[in-house]
Copies of this chain bind each other. A is one copy, B any other.
Amino acid sequence: MNQPVASYVLTASCPSRSGTVDVVTRFLRESGGYINELNSFDDELNQRFFIRTVFRLEADSEFDRDVFCQQFSERSKAFEMEWELTPLDYKPKVVIMVSKYDHCLNDLLYRYRTGNLSVEICAVISNHTDLQSLTEWHDIPFYHCPITPSTKAQQESQVQSILDQYQCELLVLARYMQVLSHEMCEVWAGKAINIHHSLLPGFKGAKPYHQAYNKGVKLVGATAHYVSDDLDEGPIITQGMETVNHTYYPEDLTRKGKDIEAQTLARAVQYHAEKRIFLFNDKTIVFERS
């Protein structure tokens, strides 16, 4: 029998239907769950329902996680609910992939070290060795998995076995400058987060910040999204944006852009860890915190 845990997050989504909230709240009531926080949203256009609730167990509740799950499965089956029960203090196992840029990795490791990121960083994988010492300085295993066009399949298989070894639950591409294969994208759909710059207007091709400088943009930003086949166009999780002015040369824009990338990626990882994100079709629903 599972040891009862103080608090849980229950998330669920399903096609819109009468009674969706009720099936969750009634079951929690009957199971001795005391609801601390509940947010639900029924998307009328997409006809999809989403709910996230944080509950603790009543003092006298005889909670058995397996029983809970089995019974909730039965209850929610008619609603075709996809759901998840997670201890509130659970930290998902994360593997980070990087290339040579260190700003996102640096920031993630810093938040992790100072207790401000609710994940367990298990390993860092890179196709280069530049970030090995930074990683190891934080007592985290570093794996060098070089890649060439001809060894891509082989490298991804090597990466996958590292992910398997750590039972990785969330893959974070912290400026990993390689495109994942279609297969890899499929396996990690909804479980891999990427970050890229966001500029208005959008700039194609190389040196986006130089283009932005030439265009005199007044805002620079970043978008964190789930990885999809459509490079840099997966479902958006969160976006950051800050004002700049004419005193920002391309290298200044780049530096500010990197700052925003790091913050935005960290926020996305934290939202994922807190089970605040629902993925549906090509978009996300995020019960963010003000």
Contact = CB atoms under 8 A, between A and B. Distances in A.
Most buried by B among A41, A221, A238, A243: A41
Interface stretch (A29-37, A88-96, A162-170, A174-182): A29-37
Interface in A30-73: 34-45, 50, 58
A101 to B, nearest CB: 12
A187 interface: no
Main secondary structure of the interface of A (DSSP, over half): mixed
A241 B241 contact: yes
B216 A283 contact: yes
Contact of A21 (B38, B58, B218): B38
Contacts of A201: 198, 202, 223, 233
Nearest to A252: B289
Interface in A212-226: 213-219, 221, 223
A200 interface: yes
Contacts of A235: 215-216
Contacts of A34: 18, 42
Interface string A180-197: 000000000000000000
A35 B43 contact: no
Query: Interface size class for chain A?
Result: 35 or more
A41 B64 CA distance: 25
A236 interface: yes
A266 to B, nearest CB: 12
Interface string A232-245: 01011111010111
Contact of A19 (B29, B43, B281): B29
A129 interface: no
A3 interface: no
A239 B214 contact: no
A151 interface: no
Interface string A124-153: 000000000000000000000000000000
Nearest to A51: B38
Given A18-B58, A247-B290, A290-B243, A216 B285 contact: yes
Given A202-B200, A214-B283, A41 B247 contact: yes
Contact of A41 (B41, B246, B282, B283): B246
Given A216-B282, A235-B216, A246-B285, A37 B40 contact: yes
30 contacts: A18-B29, A21-B28, A21-B29, A21-B38, A38-B38, A38-B39, A39-B40, A41-B246, A45-B249, A45-B250, A106-B114, A198-B200, A198-B201, A200-B200, A200-B202, A200-B223, A201-B202, A201-B233, A214-B282, A214-B283, A215-B235, A216-B283, A217-B239, A221-B241, A241-B241, A245-B288, A245-B290, A246-B285, A247-B290, A288-B290
